[in-house]
Amino acid sequence: MAQYQPYPQHPGQPQYNYERPASQTDSLGSWMLAVFLMMIPIVGFIYLLVLAFGGTESIAKKNYARATLLWMVILVVISIVIGVVMAIMGVTFFSYLDQSSTSVNY
């Protein structure tokens, strides 16, 4: 059975460390500030856009902002669909009432 040797590392090739050091983790205070700013209606939306598209070094906050914006888009689309369906139902209902009131003979 042959033993495979690992690929040799070139001396000029940099070694990458993809893990963040413990000193760069997000603190409780930074999360408290982020959640507080997101609760303010217009400021929160702008803050989410800034976080999602490059305003932070924190990968966790960037991913959270992107997920929140995606949920906002999904909910806006669902709200528009429900509003259109309700408007069509209302027009149908009132046209039915109009037809039934004009067809009654006394």
What tens digit of pLDDT does each residue of 15-36 get? 666 665 655 788 999 999 999 9
**Whole-number average pLDDT of the chain:** 85
Highest mean pLDDT among 2-6, 71-75, 96-100: 71-75
- What's the CA gap between 46 and 38, in Å, rounded? 9
- As a dihedral over the C-alpha atoms of residue 82, residue 88, residue 89, residue 95, rounded to 10 degrees, the angle is 160
